[in-house]
Structure 1
Amino acid sequence: MREFVEQLWYEQQNAEQQTKNYTWDEEKKEWIRKENAALDDDTIAEYQAHYGEQFIKEYDQIYEKMDAELKEKTEAKIKEVEEKREKKKMKKAGQPQQQGWIDMEEKSTAVYVSGMPTDVTIEEFTEFMSKCGVIQQDPRTRRSKIKLYLDDEGNSKGDGRCCYIKMESVELALSILDGARMRDCEVKVEKAHFELKGEFDPAKKKRKLTPAQKKRFFESQNKIFEWKPDKPRNYRPLSDCTVIIKNLFTLEQMAKNAALLLDLKEEVEQSCAKYGAVKKVVVYDNNPEGVVSVAFESTEHSDLAVKMLNGRIVDGRELKCSLWDGKTKYKVQETEEEAKRRIAAWEERIQKGRQGDDDNEEEGEEEEGDSDEGEGEDEETTEEPEEKRQKSEQETDE
């Protein structure tokens, strides 16, 4: 009990000594050291324990390591920029670039396989190597980059090469397929090493892909690894919102009336608006089947339009309505001969129209002349009764 009381007394005394150098801040709710407080040995020892030389040394080592890494990255970036500048200068000056073999072993995803049966087929080899990953395709031929080495007589030597898309597939093949059995043979798998045989021949160098070709190739390659959720059972493609109407007009009607295209588009839009909101109407005026496409906002509206319009009789023709399959193209390009015939026919109609206008003007002038003569005769007839009236008045006076 006495020891316990002494311990409390010592703790209280220590707390009182600490409060001499600190003040309690009500706003911050913490002890703050006084500005003129004296530093005692205990305070200095506590500070060195937390922020002493050992602590500083550790942080110095960390900072030195970070500086070294940053310096290395900066130097590599500067070197890369300088190389690009030199290449541009050589290009502008017209100097040929240095040609030769480039060491791509670090970036290569190809493996060399040996110890296979001599009668192995390319299909069997492809199936065996596909266990560890997706085999890369050639961007030019679109064939898998996998091959069997043949002797001078064209027979398989039992070894080959396979190129994967991912580097992880190479590591997997080295750990799984190396030492595996293919039929009765033990297969050996190792990273492919390429060596220069003879002198470099620039004529055998493959043509580089354009940036657009590279982009398309990598996009199609990355699609293999994309994950897409399964489509719902009631999923319907966007093309089902478009209705195709056939036999709505004939090419003869289009040739006779130039305004039929706009009139037909307006009429179809108004009539189809009863089945739902219409987004777009396209009249394929050169299509011999008389095709018009109507795009609705939803498949419910397009289904209703097909149900109501299919089989309807218009100008003695039976309409055929169906949903668009998303592939068929109904636009028909007009040939030069058809365009010439159409232009000649319209010139003919324009001339006939002008002649008709001239004839109408002449008829109008003749009618005006006849009306003037009729007015003169009316005046004469009005004059005759006046003369008779005057004579009758004179006779009565006498």
Structure 2
Amino acid sequence: MSGALVPTAADGGGERESRENAPSAARETFDYVVTVTNRGPSTAREVRVTDRLPPSLEFVSSRDGCTASGRTAVCGPLASLAVGASHAWVITVRLAADYRGDGTDIVNEAVVDASTSDPDSRNNSTSLTGLEIPPSARTADLSLEKTALLAKGREHVRAGEKFTYLITVRNQGPATARRLQVTDRLPASLVLLSSPDDCEVPKGGDRLLVVCPSLDRLAAGEKAEFRITVRAVTADRAAAQPPDDICTPIENIARVTSATFDPDLSDNANGRGTTGPGGGRLCLVSEGGREQHGGHDGRHEGHEDGREDGHHGRDDEHQDGREHHDAREQHGGRGDLAHSGTAVPAWLLWTSAALVAGGAALRTAFRTRRP
């Protein structure tokens, strides 16, 4: 008997998994076709093939009933194989999650045996070195940036204001990235209004999770852009970074995933505090913002003016009080002792007035008699 291995790319066949379910693996699949031929001199009985996969490959499935234990796949047994006849089994495999090569170092070996005695077992095994891996199954380093598009000179937004985010995904290669997915979890301070690129909140899903249409592929060196328009609702006081006097940071993280292995996941999402127009933080300013500080100063100035007006008012009142007190004394009424509130008897006022009048007369007489 003799055997032969013929690998073919199984594009669209076999089991496929998303990048989220297997974050460290490129999920391309490949078919190995194992063919057995009976060269005689008699019919072979209970023919079976054993394929020991290398560490770089993982068993996925077999449309011909082959099964696997770990990395060892077994096909058959086939009840009989006539002289000169051939039989083929297809084994579907995929690259191991930690494989980083280009496929040239992959060696796969298969062995055939039967219950019938074989006069020449030297050709009962075969091996194949090298597996042609398409660029889409190799490494693709993706990165994502997110920027708020504001009017020139603006660095913050106010509650109730709408604006647009630009999400940019770049493939830094070296291979084409397959089945890309961009998601954006909005903070409670933002509400999605629309998207010209059909990003949306899926019905029945998380109302804060925006999902953009998936891309089948993104070639090395190319970029993809998504825009979402949102409205700022209110300052998110639960933000991780405490707000200062005029700024509540809007922390809005988007990320990209892919079915192609990505060697560096650290740049697959925008960093915190980087979505502002200049690459810094984006601030949400409450209604009034900086003007509130000007209003505070105005209230302070008004307070100063009121204090001055009140001071002048009290001076006028005090002056009026003194004139009123003098008038009461001139009419001989009752008066108040200063700062005591004690009433002054009327006879004391009359006596004081008489003494003053007498003193004035004496002084007058004295002055007239002076030489």
Higher relative contact order (CA 8 A, sep 6+): 2
Which structure's residues are more often strand, by fraction? 2
Higher helix share: 1
Question: TM-score scaled by structure 2?
Answer: 0.26
